[in-house]
A and B are shown apart, each in its own frame.
Chain A
Amino acid sequence: EPEVTQTPSHQVTQMGQEVILRCVPISNHLYFYWYRQILGQKVEFLVSFYNNEISEKSEIFDDQFSVERPDGSNFTLKIRSTKLEDSAMYFCAIPGLAGTDTQYFGPGTRLTVL
């Protein structure tokens, strides 16, 4: 089972501020996914990223969001100007080595927007 870490574990920010959430897989991966879970709700797909390009994004992933792979290993999700409704758990996921149907999730970053 591939491992992935996320930093920070908890981020508190003021509305309107920019935040960057990081995902670091233990081994090299070309595919990454971001999901979010608003408190008490289901997990929702945000974006998938393959080989330095967005391959699919949801309607949630508007112009306030961006993703990139700045140094070939870390994978970041940036929210340009946070809103109260961005408060959620954000999960990074990577595909399993044995096949691409299965995704393994990081521990998540809890984002709190005040």
Chain B
Amino acid sequence: AQSVTQLDSHVSVSEGTPVLLRCNYSSSYSPSLFWYVQHPNKGLQLLLKYTSAATLVKGINGFEAEFKKSETSFHLTKPSAHMSDAAEYFCVVTLANFGNEKLTFGTGTRLTIIP
């Protein structure tokens, strides 16, 4: 079984300051990990994914995440927040290399950007 824990339900940062959204995972096998973003009243957009290649993964809109097996973490970061980053962010896990497995979502982190 696999699960993810998003440690913060709500994060507020000022525009231009760094963003850190925390995620810890649990998986019986090697995981594939993702971050999805959901803007208000919109669907789910893939930000980035880790699938056992490089541990530092770069995504869209300047976001990146680092897979740390020793800490079972996959935190999402961005050096400088923009107003358009305000959204709900979901950390997601699935079983790597099994193919076509269901995704398991975290509870989400709402990111607010202060002007």
Give me the interface of A with B, judged by CB distance under 8 Å.
1, 31, 33, 35, 41-45, 48, 50, 55-56, 58, 91, 93, 95, 99-108
Contacts and interface: CB of A to CB of B under 8 A. Distances in A.
B7 interface: no
A91 B103 CA distance: 12
A95 B94 CA distance: 13
28 contacts: A1-B46, A33-B103, A42-B90, A42-B106, A43-B90, A44-B105, A45-B102, A45-B104, A48-B100, A55-B100, A56-B102, A91-B43, A93-B103, A99-B51, A100-B99, A101-B49, A101-B51, A101-B94, A101-B96, A101-B99, A101-B101, A102-B32, A102-B34, A102-B51, A103-B103, A107-B42, A107-B43, A108-B43
A21 B105 CA distance: 22
B114 interface: no
Interface in B51-84: 51
Nearest to B101: A101
Contacts of A56: 102
Contact of B44 (A31, A48, A55, A91): A91
B100 A105 contact: no
B74 to A, nearest CB: 14
Contacts of B44: 43, 91, 105, 108
Contacts of B106: 42
B107 interface: yes
A107 B43 CA distance: 4
Of listed A55, A93, A99, A101, residue having the most chain B CB within 10 A = A101
